[in-house]
Amino acid sequence: MPEWDWSLRDLHNVTKIGRRVFSCFSCGGGSTMGYKLAGYEVIGNVEIDPQMMAIYKANHNPRFPFQMPIQEFRKIPKQELPPELFQLDILDGSPPCSVFSTAGSREKKWGVEARFREGQAKQRLDDLFFHFIDVADMLRPKVVIAENVKGMILGNAKGYVKEVVESFAQIGYIVQLFLLNGATMGVPQKRERVFFIARRHDLRLPDLQLKFGEPPVLYRDIRSGRGRPIDPKSRTYQRWLKRRPADKSMAHVALRTEGKNNNFNTIIVHDHRVLNTIASNSVFVRYDEPYHISNEDIIRSQAFPRDYNFLEGDPQYVCGMSVPPLMMKKIAEQVNRQWFKRGA
């Protein structure tokens, strides 16, 4: 059975390594599942979104859940927090990263208060990483792992990354940056993400080495069922009729046939290619039939377990906002092998 085809029940058979993790900005728990697959114990989480917290609890049953903004969590007096949180091996987090996406005029969003999602409090999204670093300073874990979009290391955002690295240094952590692609890590998806992996300076650990080269998993390997049909009255359908094998998105078709430069979010999916990044707002249509891809395709491409309970949530939103479990599993295995087994 392929590694991406798994069940939450399989976690009962994973050998535990005796290492503790706490997850911030946990969403549906993609990274949580990755750590568990690698043998870690994830003891709790922080999540601002009530729906995501309900989904997280349904699938992970955390001992110490905190449904609140990270800004509030970091202000909790230490004596009011469980002592286990001060004995962490890894502090995990994926600070919301939409303001660093390369789509649109991202710089205009920096420093602006906004709701990341309906129902949440307004906050400056580009400040969240620094609040996360404050949590690291409070809890003093051995290792901190933070995931973010590739856009963080491109263009003007490089200055922001420099501030992040310097902030980690000020609290006694050495940071390494890794740009990793899920397609080389067993994930049936081309998902490039930046990982900040910081180790506490006093532990005197060597640099971490991360290199992955697993064979790609093509769309035909995960394809199952059908999603909703393309509306035959829509412009998307008219463009779909004019598609060619080389076209990767409806934007290519629009530019070639109409001279228009739009419809970027509608991706044409080919059986012999690896699926593009699953984002919460992307639209995927099959090349060989006028249908969208199925929810099962999305779940498989994100390497989520087949028995995951999405409650009333949209699988594409939950998956698109989460770290693929296999990505985090592969990273967590190397952290254990190269650092924790050395006595850290």
* Residue 186 confidence (pLDDT) above 70: yes
CA 131 centroid distance within chain: 19
Does 304 fall in a domain? no
Where do we find the tokens 């039939």?
A: 289
Residues 129 and 58 in one domain: yes
Does 220 fall in a domain? no
Structure-block tokens of residue 201? 């300076």
| Count of structural domains, the chain | 2
Per-residue model confidence (pLDDT) at position 304: 98
> Which residues are catalytic, by number?
97
pLDDT-based confidence at residue 81 (cuts at 50, 70, 90): very high
Name which residue leads in pLDDT, 273 or 113: 273
Nearest CA to 34 out of 292, 301, 325 is that of 325
**β-strands 192-200, 173-181: how paired?**
antiparallel
Residues 107 and 240 in one domain: no
Does 307 fall in a domain? no
Residues 207 and 241 in one domain: no
Residues 289 and 321 in one domain: no
Residues 197 and 232 in one domain: no
Q: How many residues does the chain have?
A: 344
* Residue 131 confidence (pLDDT) above 70: yes
Query: Domain range for residue 58?
Result: 8-213+315-342
Distance CA 299, CA 292 (A): 14
pTM metric for this prediction? 0.91
pLDDT-based confidence at residue 68 (cuts at 50, 70, 90): very high
Residues 254 and 153 in one domain: no
Per-residue model confidence (pLDDT) at position 264: 85
Identify the CATH number of the domain in which residue 163 sits.
3.40.50.150
Angle between helices 30-37 and 325-338 (to 10 degrees): 50
207: burial class by Cβ within 10 Å (0-12, 13-18, 19+)?
Answer: exposed
Residues 230 and 209 in one domain: no
Does 1 fall in a domain? no
Structure-block tokens of residue 149? 């979009």
Distance CA 300, CA 227 (A): 14
Does 334 fall in a domain? yes
The pLDDT tens digits for 3-20 are: 999 999 999 999 999 999
3-state secondary structure 84-138: HHHCCCEEEECCCCHHHCCCCCHHHHCCCEECCCCCCCCEEHHHHHHHHHHHHHH
Distance CA 19, CA 17 (A): 6
* Residue 109 confidence (pLDDT) above 50: no
Does 300 fall in a domain? no
Residues 142 and 64 in one domain: yes
Per-residue model confidence (pLDDT) at position 177: 96
* Residue 141 confidence (pLDDT) above 50: yes
* Residue 208 confidence (pLDDT) above 90: yes
Contacts of 317 (CB under 8 A, 6+ apart): 280
Does 109 fall in a domain? yes
Residues 235 and 334 in one domain: no
Does 95 fall in a domain? yes
Residues 154 and 231 in one domain: no
Residues 261 and 232 in one domain: yes
Residues 238 and 337 in one domain: no
Distance CA 172, CA 165 (A): 11
